[in-house]
Amino acid sequence: METDVGVSTSEEANGSAAKKKPTVVFVLGGPGSGKGTQCAYIVEHFGFTHFSAGDLLRGEIDSGSENGLMIKSMMNEGKIVPSEVTVKLLQKAMEESGNEKFLIDGFPRNDENRAAFAAVTGIEPAFVLFFDCPEEEMERRILNRNQGRDDDNIETIRKRFKVFLQSSLPVVQYYESIGKVHKIDAARPVEEVFESVKAVFTSINEKVKPHGRVQQKSTLLKLQLKWKMSFLRNGVCKGY
């Protein structure tokens, strides 16, 4: 299992100061699997900034941008908006956030999304959370949630399920093949699901910590050596 959530560095274009690359966790799962709900808990407990690709796209529609109409009609058909649009929105949101740890929910939705994000931002996810939930349960949740979304009607929901199976599951399978997926049984009550999610983030934090302890230990050794040297020097000066 790839668990490197450390912050890597890359040289800036001018080759001077090294720029920190943010830590990104992709949160994937079918429509209604609970991504947004769980992300809110993760933010509270683990200090991530959460971006929902769907919410960013809805914001773009509301802002009356030139892409708004195109995005609106694609969403109403359950189709995947061109990568260029979504990746730009995500990149801008990350740059403006001031944080270095991001949960990106509902993206990448197809292989092209995945490749475009990597190519534009140079970021590969630290890992992927996958919320696994049966279709009947997801459908029940969406029809009960009343969020006033145009695409939460039975006709569009069915289209979204189809797109999820055809285009988004292969992305999960890709990340599974490189050992980056943490699969969560999402068909349980919210609190129970979060216990599993918490366990993933806690175990990853723990795997990162020993490195910190090693560093602390070596700093302590260096200090001890410094004291010994200064003691010897003083001792010699004083003629012992």
Indicate the residue among 35 and 182 with the shorter CB distance to ligand UDP.
35
> Which ranges of the chain does DSSP label H, i.e. alpha helix?
35-46, 53-62, 68-76, 83-97, 111-121, 135-145, 154-163, 169-177, 190-237
Q: Does 158 count as an annotated binding residue?
A: no
Indicate the residue among 88 and 149 with the shorter CB distance to Mg ion.
149
Of 16-24, 53-61, 193-201, 223-231, the window that binds ligand UDP (rule: CB under 6 A) is 53-61
List of residues 6+ apart from 212 with CB closer than 8 A: none
Site for Mg ion in 31-60 (CB under 5 A): 36
Residue 75 beta carbon to ligand UDP: minimum distance, rounded to whole angstroms: 4
The Cα–Cα gap between 75 and 174 comes to 25
The partner residues of 211 in beta bridges, in order of sequence, read none
Of 30-38, 91-99, 185-193, 195-203, the window that binds Mg ion (rule: CB under 5 A) is 30-38
- Closest C-alpha to 201, from 32, 1, 5: 5
Question: Among 114, 160, 180, 182, which residue interacts with ligand UDP (rule: CB under 6 A)?
Answer: 160
Q: Does 37 count as an annotated binding residue?
A: yes
Site for ligand UDP in 94-123 (CB under 6 A): 106-107, 109
67 touches which of Mg ion, ligand UDP, none (CB within 5 to 8 A by kind)? none
In this structure, are strands 18-20 and 9-11 parallel, antiparallel, or unpaired?
antiparallel
Indicate the residue among 27 and 204 with the shorter CB distance to Mg ion.
27
Nearest position to Mg ion, beta carbon: 36
Contact 61, 72 (CB under 8 A): yes
Interface pattern 188-227 for ligand UDP (x via CB under 6 A): ----------------------------------------
26 touches which of ligand UDP, Mg ion, none (CB within 5 to 8 A by kind)? none
- Closest C-alpha to 26, from 142, 99, 110: 110
Instruction: With both helix axes pointing from N to C terminus, report the angle between 111-121 and 169-177 in degrees, rounded to the nearest 10.
Output: 60
The Cα–Cα gap between 147 and 138 comes to 15
Q: Does 80 count as an annotated binding residue?
A: yes
Footprint of Mg ion (CB under 5 A): 36
